[in-house]
Amino acid sequence: MFLRFLGGRLLGTAPVLVILSVGVFLMLHLTPGDPVQIMLGQDADPGAVAALRAELGLDQPLPIQYARWVANAVRGDLGRSIRTNQPVTEAIVSRLPVTIELSVLALVLSLAIGLPAGVVAAIRRNTSVDLASTGLALVGVSLPSFFLGILLILVFALWLRWVPPSGYTPLVLDPLMNVKQMFMPALALGAALAGIVARLTRSSLLEVLGTDYMRTARAKGLSEAASVVGHGLKNALLPVVTVVGLQVGAVLGGAILIETIFALPGIGRLAVDSIFARDFPMVQGVVLFLALVRVVSNLIADLLYARLDPRISYA
């Protein structure tokens, strides 16, 4: 039954990816600007321009270009960068560790901040602790990630001089410098999700605290902390898992701005540079990769439901 459900979900994602690929392909090719002119310059010889367009396949009709790109993408070949002539797959793989590290740190920080804040706010309902937690969560959700990133640079890098304002050092070369450089980007990227997790955990746990099995747990002599952690939190995490699974794609999308602000050599920075250079194959490959990650994260969130709630069936 599980394999049948998994196969149905995978088949259901195919039309989504097709529609997304068509939209991205047409959107990029209909935007002003010619990548060949950008590569050769505005005063380039028309013959050289025509020859390069033919070499890159840009002189073919759009349906043929799209069909060729999809056929190659199915085989794992996303083409070559117009700007650097590097294979798109190779460029994405080389930038992937930075984006993965940033996204994982942002998710870890958001859960480390949001879950305890939501639990404490639910247990201490309508107290000053609850008001402070709710207020901070609202600030985190309201502030755009790029604006929060600029504020963090201003405070921690320029005023206090605790961390460098930008740059990236691999973890294997200098772990301490890596932590210093990745702290502000991860906090800026994960603040909104931390606020969402805190508010959702609070509201969900408040519903669970009033159920019969929680009153039974207290009547058996369990402390408030033991009953919440051992019985209530697991059921309260169901909507949190859904939101976190859906927000993985948003975190990767937000990495585009954060990596640009903090000069991190990840996939987001690669996408921005490729957009400015009208590098169609690179932008298409990056968007397709991010879409696949989002689809997979949503699928994983669905599968985790059965682990958290045995009442859920895949029939």
Is the Cβ–Cβ distance between 307 and 314 less than 8 Å? no
Query: Which stretch, 82-91, 230-239, 244-253, has highest mean pLDDT?
Result: 82-91
* 310 alpha-carbon distance from chain centroid: 29
Is the Cβ–Cβ distance between 283 and 274 less than 8 Å? yes
Residue 231 CB: number of other CB atoms within 10 A?
Answer: 18
Burial of 306 (0-12, 13-18, 19+ CB in 10 A): middle
Residue 92 pLDDT > 80, yes or no?
Answer: yes
Residue 184 pLDDT > 70, yes or no?
Answer: yes
Query: Any idea which residue has 């980007």 for tokens?
Result: 185
Closest alpha carbon to 274 in 32, 82, 60, 8: 82
Is the Cβ–Cβ distance between 228 and 200 less than 8 Å? no
Please report the pLDDT score of residue 305 as a whole number.
66
Longest dimension (CA), the chain: 86
Please report the pLDDT score of residue 315 as a whole number.
59
Q: How far apart are CA 139 and CA 145, in angstroms?
A: 11
Q: How far apart are CA 195 and CA 200, in angstroms?
A: 9
Mean pLDDT of 136-140: 89
Query: What is the pTM assigned to this prediction?
Result: 0.83
Please report the pLDDT score of residue 240 as a whole number.
83
Residue 212 CB: number of other CB atoms within 10 A?
Answer: 7
Q: How many residues does the chain have?
A: 315
Q: How far apart are CA 102 and CA 258, in angstroms?
A: 9
Q: How high is the mean pLDDT of the chain?
A: 83
Give every CB contact of residue 151 below 8 A, 6+ residues apart in sequence. Answer: 143
Q: How far apart are CA 305 and CA 219, in angstroms?
A: 29
Give every CB contact of residue 165 below 8 A, 6+ residues apart in sequence. Answer: 153, 157, 158, 262
What percent of the chain is modeled with pLDDT above 70? 90
The one-letter amino acid code at 258 reads I
Catalogue all structural domains in the chain, each as residue range(s) with its CATH number. 97-308 (1.10.3720.10)
